[in-house]
Structure 1
Amino acid sequence: MSRRRRGLSREERTLWAAVARTVEPLRVEDAVVEPPPEPEPEPAPPPVVAPVKKLRGKGADTAPPRPVPPPQPPAHPPLHPIERRTLTRVARGTVGIDARIDLHGLTQLDAHDRLRGFLFSAQAQGARLVLVITGKGKAGGDPHYGEFAERGVLRRRVPQWLAEPGLRSIVIGFEEAHQTHGGGGALYVRIRRRRGHGVDEP
């Protein structure tokens, strides 16, 4: 079996050519011709790296995205005092009272229910200013009925009820009435105007 002839490596060809240049040939046809150098292999193209999309803003490269907070329920509108000019005009009769309710003599439970129903009805009818009569009363009460028969309890409790969050969509504000309308035993209450399904601001 014949042995396959191995070709010269690049280094061997270079060395042989250097030695051949130092030897003088006997005949021109026997001169060693240096083989042409092999072409250099082309360098491989650099790997293509996809661009990384950066977030805008300071610290965007390191800070994780912030969670979106859940929507907050709308805050109850605050109460506003009735302007002194309006109070003066009401006392003089220049500004009329659209509706009134008399609560004195009722228990707290009945008075609270009637007050809420009265305010909702007044707003639905477009009232702007109403009078709530609580009565002045006196301290103390009937021990048989306890606090439900306490005299003057409505004078203390009605302002608390008017300030409840559940009535902020109806009540803008309230003030003690003038002597001509009951003084400390009554309250002027301003009503928010209702438009469609919403309620406007004062």
Structure 2
Amino acid sequence: MASERQTKERKLSTDERILWGKVAKSTRPMPGRLADIEAFDEVLAAEARAEETARAEKEKASAASVDPQIPPPPAKQSSGAHHPLERPVKRKIAKGRLALEARIDLHGLIQSEAHAMLLDFLLRAHQRGLRHVLVITGKGSSMGSEGALKRAVPMWFSKPEFRFLISSYETAAQHHGGDGALYIRLSRLKGERL
């Protein structure tokens, strides 16, 4: 009984979360269990956000205890925070002056399939040095749905397996899918010049 309670209260480590993501990608949920998987994914995302917040608080506290005569180091972008694309960049993509180098269409897939395909797509695009891609999630307006992928994909971007791949993302222009698609700017490869 005590060990059962400890198991429920123990948080997953980053490695365990990554392993869970890999296992979840290779399986299909049993009928009626998709809600359980979605709830678990939300718990993992909340834990990741809590860890990031705790880390930021710890860094803030240690920075406050430093000698005020010494200027603080330059602020570094949080590894879990993605910023929207700059307006000029989004405008160039929308008008076709900045090419979308690849695209993937996820709508109609279940979340585990979409997660696996999206991660594979982004890994390959990142390795090839691509910068701007289009991810079509679908709007989810069929049969009163609010779009599971439309909601889930941005949450996945804060997970460890996606975090280092993505620099920023933004809802696409209407002719590229509008609310049912995202422009993604991939992070630069290590050693790549601006």
Do Structure 1 and Structure 2 share a fold, with TM-score over 0.5? yes
**2-structure distance, mates of 1:113, 1:129:** 20
Identity %: 45
Conserved? CA contact 1:101–1:133, under 8 Å: yes
Establish whether residue 135 from structure 1 lines up as the match of residue 138 from structure 2: yes
Structure 2 counterpart of 1:195, one-letter code: K
Conserved? CA contact 1:79–1:172, under 8 Å: yes
Please state whether the residue corresponding to 1:195 is helix, strand or coil. coil
After TM superposition, where is structure 1 displaced by more than 6 Å over at least 4 residues in a row?
none
Bigger Rg over Cα = 1
Q: Aligned-pair distance for 1:201?
A: 9.9
Conserved? CA contact 1:192–1:201, under 8 Å: no
Paired residues in the alignment total 117
Q: Aligned-pair distance for 1:137?
A: 1.5
**2-structure distance, mates of 1:87, 1:181:** 12
- Cα deviation, 1:37-85, whole Å, max 9, x if unaligned, reads xxxxxxxxxxxxxxxxxxxxxxxxxxxxxxxxxxxxxx73632221001
- Cα deviation, 1:168-196, whole Å, max 9, x if unaligned, reads 21101110000110000000011011136
Tell me the TM-score normalized by structure 2: 0.55
**1-structure distance, mates of 2:142, 2:105:** 20
Conserved? CA contact 1:170–1:192, under 8 Å: yes
- Cα deviation, 1:121-178, whole Å, max 9, x if unaligned, reads 000111100000001112768xxxxxxxx66111111111122233121101110000
Which residue of 1 is the match for residue 167 of structure 2? 172
- CA-based RMSD of the aligned residues comes to 2.3
Higher relative contact order (CA 8 A, sep 6+): 2
Establish whether residue 155 from structure 1 lines up as the match of residue 158 from structure 2: no
**2-structure distance, mates of 1:139, 1:153:** 11
Tell me the TM-score normalized by structure 1: 0.53
- Cα deviation, 1:93-144, whole Å, max 9, x if unaligned, reads 0000011000001110000000000000000111100000001112768xxx
Which residue of 2 is the match for residue 189 of structure 1? 184
**2-structure distance, mates of 1:107, 1:77:** 25
Segments of 5+ residues of structure 2 without an aligned counterpart are 1-77
Structure 2 counterpart of 1:86, one-letter code: V
Segments of 5+ residues of structure 1 without an aligned counterpart are 1-74, 142-149
Conserved? CA contact 1:128–1:191, under 8 Å: yes
**2-structure distance, mates of 1:201, 1:190:** 16
Structure 2 counterpart of 1:192, one-letter code: S
